[in-house]
Structure 1
Amino acid sequence: MDTPATRHTAVNTHTRFAEVKGRRIAYRDIGQGLPIILCLRFRGVLDSWDPAFLDALAVNHRVITFDYSGLGQSTGKPSYLRVNMAQDAVDLADALGLEQFIIGGWSLGGIAAQVVARLHPERILKNILIGTTPPGKVRVGPKPVFYERALKPVNDLDDETVLFFHPESQKSRAAAVASHNRIAARTTDVSPAIPIDTVLKLLDESKGEDIFVDDNGYRDFLKTTHIPALVISGDHEIVFPVENWFDVVPETKSVHLLVLPQMGHGPQHEAPQICADLITSFIKNG
């Protein structure tokens, strides 16, 4: 068992590699307990997660994060097609010998997580969805400021504040600085940022799709499945407005929606301990 001096944390744990179907999936693995595989956001890599959130979650669970194929430290062909991102998570679970696991995701990763649950329901214990969208047509789309900031060649702290926090709140701006500094604390074995040319190419390849087009019964599955799902969203969500969940949740059997006030697209970075506590309680009791 790890001692306090040797305990693996999100900042000091080594990146590992799973050889799967001719490619290497880079992943990190901390904590013990029921395994949680977390799927990344748009333009995200292993080092896009706030270490405080991962460490708080790893107190009670085995937390596994990874780079999608061809991005960050992973090899293979990169893709933002949701089925391909979901397959990365499933292939990693297979490589780690996980027959059943909790699937989770942030933003774009929340879409991938829902696809995993739809295609492999027998393997999913629970579904954790952060700052993401339900399947199918939605009433409220992303705010224009999201595209203005998210497609800049390089995002700085001010961009992060606008994209993931609530820039009109002094408390939220302070939380953005704190989260940025926690992420920056890891200085070795860091996954490289995704070049903007690659981002634009991936977007171009998937431009024929709606954000989460319902072409495989995803929405009906969400409404009828008994797999417990926890949706965590900020009330200042500029990418996937939380109002769209209001249209879906009342028709479901097992989706639980939590809206956190004065928070944006990254509530788990603004309030890492609170979000980890909510997820832990949901996994235990949901």
Structure 2
Amino acid sequence: MTEQSVSFNAPTQYVEVSGRTLAYRTFGHGAPLLLCVRFRGTMDSWDPVFLDNLVQQGFQVTVFDYSGLGRSTGERSYNPALLAKDTIELITALKLGKVILGGWSIGGVAAQIVLAQAPQIVSHLVLIATTPPGMLVKTGEQLFYDLAKRENDFEDFVSLFFEPSSDSSRAAAEHSWNRLTAKREDASPEVPHEWAGAQLGDGPKNPIFPVDAVLHVLKTTSVPVLHLGADHDIAFPVENWYALSDQLPTLHIVTFPSSGHGPQLQYPSAAAKHIAAFIHSLGE
């Protein structure tokens, strides 16, 4: 990455919360936007071009590592309720007030739980390649579960987050891979794939997220909700959001073509602009 990247050069900071230390980075100025990362992700799993574009759109962006993962201390878990607890306590500790809350993959599940548990701290909900609560009309693919349990090379990266059959998607994957593998001195340690895989299960589930109370909140909330998805997400098919579109009164859906489980990796500028349009058109 170049020296001009605001997000890549942002220092890692730490805050003590309930007997553990949460690592985070904050950069930019404007409305506070906090992002909850994907399964096996850390602060360094966010493409810096996507983050820099969010800053250019007028947001103060915060990324962080969940408890016990990356540079954060404490007990590690992929229980979405505990990830939501991390999120709520970090927002409180940093005195961010009411935030635009974003979440990618399992981070999107955690973000939905935050909305249900602490709606007073969420102004807008931005979900990226995640799943809604309840029964699904389409499950994910076995391939995701196979790839998520092993150390991943570039081809795995393409299969997980892009569309392998598309030349343009592959080209975007190469650019994103190069950005994400750039070294920084205070990089977060990778999440151990052996441990993470043991939390995942052997194959697709239905439902993945069986929390009726959260689905009820999505059906009754006045908080605007945006889902940025892909036309071929092997983990969380976007079709499940379309199936709920007539039941969720504040839901906006954007689906990117020839893309996979990381649409913001493939379309970093467009994704940031869609988020900004969503926020600004509905008021901050």
Band the TM-score falls in, shorter-chain normalisation = over 0.9
| Residue 22 of structure 2: aligned partner | 25
| Residue 175 of structure 1: aligned partner | 172
C-alpha deviations, 1:173-229, integer Å up to 9, x for none?
Answer: 01001001111224311001111232134447xx999521124x1111111111001
Give the aligned CA root-mean-square deviation in angstroms. 1.8
Change in CA separation of 1:165 and 1:7 when aligned onto 2, cut-off 3 Å: closer
C-alpha deviations, 1:231-286, integer Å up to 9, x for none?
Answer: 01010111111111111111111010111111111110001000000001111113
| 1:221 matched to 2:217 | yes
Identify which of 257, 271, 275 aligns with 2:271: 275
| 1:95 matched to 2:93 | yes
CA contact (8 A) 1:165 1:267 kept: yes
Identify which of 127, 144, 164 aligns with 1:129: 127
Task: List, as ranges, runs of 4+ consecutive aligned residues in structure 1 with deviation greater than 6 Å.
Answer: 5-8
Q: Determine the C-alpha separation between the residues in 2 that align with 1:116 and 1:95.
A: 15
| Residue 253 of structure 1: aligned partner | 249
Cα deviation, residue 122, structure 1: 1.4
| Residue 51 of structure 2: aligned partner | 54
Written as runs of structure 1 = structure 2, the 5 A alignment for 1:1-286 is: 9-59=6-56, 60-152=58-150, 154-203=151-200, 210-215=207-212, 217-286=213-282
Cα deviation, residue 6, structure 1: 8.4
Query: SS at the partner of 1:249?
Result: coil
CA contact (8 A) 1:41 1:107 kept: yes
Structure 2: 5+ residue stretches without partners: none
Structure 1: 5+ residue stretches without partners: none
Letter in 2 for 1:237: D
Q: Determine the C-alpha separation between the residues in 2 that align with 1:235 and 1:9.
A: 30
TM-score (norm 2): 0.94
Query: SS at the partner of 1:187?
Result: coil
TM-score (norm 1): 0.93
CA contact (8 A) 2:148 2:193 kept: no
